[in-house]
Amino acid sequence: MIPPKIVLWGCWFFALYLLWRDTKKHPEIPRTLWVPTLWLMRCASRTIDYWLGGTDTGRLDPVFISILMVCGFFILMRRPCNWNGIFARNSALFIFYGYLVVSTLWVDDLQNPLVKIFRPVGDLIIALVVTTEADPRNAIITMFRRCAILLIPMSIVLIRYFPDLGRMQDKHWGLDMWIGVTTHKNPLGQTCIIAALGFLWSLLEAHRNGRRWFRQYIPLLYLAMTAYLFNGGGSWDSRSSTAIICLIFALGLFWLFGFMRRHPELLLKRIMLCVGMLVIISVVLDLFGSSLQGVVAETQGKKESLSGRTWLWQDVIRIGMKHPIFGSGYGGFWVPSIYSELSPRVDNHPEEAHNGYLETFANLGLVGVGLLACVLFQSLKSAVKTFHADFEYGRLRLAMIFMVMLLNYSEATFTRGNHLWWFGFLIFAIYARPWVAWPETSHSNLPDHHDQTEEIESESEPTLV
């Protein structure tokens, strides 16, 4: 048997070689993209303290995060941006962030509530770095691919050769849970979504360029490794059902949107039709004593309570109704005193509501939920406009925003600083390209629809001075 350390070093050299190869293969990608790529890697794995010291001391990770934030800030300052236009086009998101900061004023049990704001503000800064690139679609896919190049094989090595790091011992004497470079099976599944999207897009691009997809050995190898991690050792309890369902949902939407390439005006009608069908199915199942949630859970080998999530949701609503309008303040709900108020059925000491909408309600109240709804509406409206003008970028944005909305039904990612899919949501929700005046040479690889996008957006937004 090969010594584990040799396998680990081999994995590192293999990943570093592929990252070097990727930079040579894509010289059009600017070096500044490494800042958000490192940020994404941190969001998709454990803290820097843990990797360097074996424990989460909280000393080195804030330093690493601060360095990336400062780098991101200086990158943005050098960008030829019309910030008035960007703020106006994404006004709901910036108002939401403003309320996020103000809500720390009424947090009771947190010693330093402003520290909680530090990481989500960093997410916003780094997301702006990505969305103000000359070709944000290519930047996002490249960032996903480079993140997966390192984290996917590292997860497998930790699971197979370093089980103390790559697995979590089951509390009920079952199979150990695969966690890889993350802290739980659910974050590992969400990291696998990143890998699947990045390399499936590589296969799609190869097909469009006339290359045979089955000869793209590296993407196929990584997709096979991703499927292996999704399997979770063959146990339903070790698989992230939410991540699997969300990936299938996103790919299905992306595929369905592809049929509207020649008739983009049908997009809203098709979306409303799908929503109506879901409502009808839910009503019919309810009449027969079942539910859509129960049917989906049963197909995944789970109970209708979604592993106890519905019990937790009832507690969050009950406790959250003590401050229904403005909430407990950002970071003010999950404090030590809250656990004595949870019902006995919730015995796993949760740190989140396992529902992004309820998590927002608990921390920010109905005002926060309303502002979040405005953010979702504005981002979808912006993605629909992009769909008409830049088809591929538009359908990617739409599919991913809808996927994050679904993901937050059983996981809480909204507003969670340094969370993979809060940062992921931001890079698809923010739209800034028409207000960044890159030189003409920077647009040489953009789609032909780019100029059309600028014309559509510039009709109602201020132009760059």
- 460 pLDDT above the threshold of 50: no
**152 is a domain residue:** yes
Q: What mean pLDDT is predicted for residues 85-93?
A: 94
pLDDT score recorded for residue 464: 33
Instruction: Kindly state the helix (H) or strand (E) to which residue 167 belongs, with its residue range.
Output: strand 167-168
Q: How many domains does the chain have?
A: 1
**209 is a domain residue:** yes
Phi, psi of 350 (to 5 degrees): -65, 155
Overall pTM surpassing 0.85 (yes/no): yes
Q: Give the Cα separation of 23 and 16 in Å (integer).
A: 11
**278 is a domain residue:** no
pLDDT score recorded for residue 172: 53
Strand partners, 167: 178
- 448 pLDDT above the threshold of 60: no
Cβ-based burial of 325 (10 A; exposed 0-12, middle 13-18, buried ≥19)? exposed
Q: Give the Cα separation of 288 and 110 in Å (integer).
A: 47
pLDDT tens digits, one per residue of 350-388: 888 889 999 999 999 999 999 999 999 999 999 988 888
- 274 pLDDT above the threshold of 70: yes
pLDDT score recorded for residue 276: 76
Instruction: Kindly state the helix (H) or strand (E) to which residue 361 belongs, with its residue range.
Output: helix 356-389
**70 is a domain residue:** yes
pLDDT score recorded for residue 301: 54
Strand partners, 169: none
**166 is a domain residue:** yes
Q: Which amino acid is at 247?
A: L
In this structure, how many other beta carbons lie within 10 angstroms of the beta carbon of residue 413? Answer: 19
82: Cβ–Cβ under 8 A, 6 or more apart, which residues? Answer: 435, 436, 437, 462, 463, 464, 465
Q: Which two tokens stand for residue 207?
A: 């097909």
**217 is a domain residue:** yes
pLDDT score recorded for residue 451: 42
Strand partners, 294: none
Q: Which of 64-73, 84-93, 155-164, 232-241 has the lowest mean pLDDT?
A: 232-241
Q: What mean pLDDT is predicted for residues 142-167?
A: 93
Q: Which two tokens stand for residue 248?
A: 């299938």
The domain of 253 spans: 4-267+323-458
Nearest 5°: CA angle at 189, between 198 and 255? 45
Q: Give the Cα separation of 133 and 442 in Å (integer).
A: 9
- 132 pLDDT above the threshold of 90: yes
3-class state of residue 194 by DSSP: helix
pLDDT tens digits, one per residue of 326-353: 988 898 888 888 888 888 777 778 888 8
**306 is a domain residue:** no
pLDDT tens digits, one per residue of 94-111: 999 999 999 988 887 666
pLDDT tens digits, one per residue of 238-268: 678 888 889 999 999 899 888 888 777 777 7
Virtual torsion, Cα 400, 196, 134, 81, nearest 10 deg: 50
Q: How far is CA 323 from CA 317, 320, 326, 359, 367, in A?
A: 10, 6, 6, 13, 11
Higher pLDDT, 173 or 33: 33
Mean pLDDT score of the chain:
84
pLDDT score recorded for residue 305: 54
Q: State what percent of residues in the chain have pLDDT above 90.
A: 46
- 404 pLDDT above the threshold of 70: yes
pLDDT tens digits, one per residue of 49-76: 888 877 777 788 889 999 999 999 999 9
pLDDT tens digits, one per residue of 7-24: 999 999 999 999 999 999
Band (pLDDT 50/70/90 cuts) for residue 452 is very low
User: Do 65 and 42 contact (CB within 8 A), yes or no?
Assistant: yes
**92 is a domain residue:** yes
Q: What mean pLDDT is predicted for residues 43-54?
A: 87
pLDDT score recorded for residue 457: 46
Q: Which of 117-131, 173-187, 252-266, 337-351 has the highest mean pLDDT?
A: 117-131
Q: Give the Cα separation of 108 and 334 in Å (integer).
A: 11
Q: What mean pLDDT is predicted for residues 77-91?
A: 92
pLDDT tens digits, one per residue of 195-225: 999 999 988 888 888 887 777 889 999 999 9
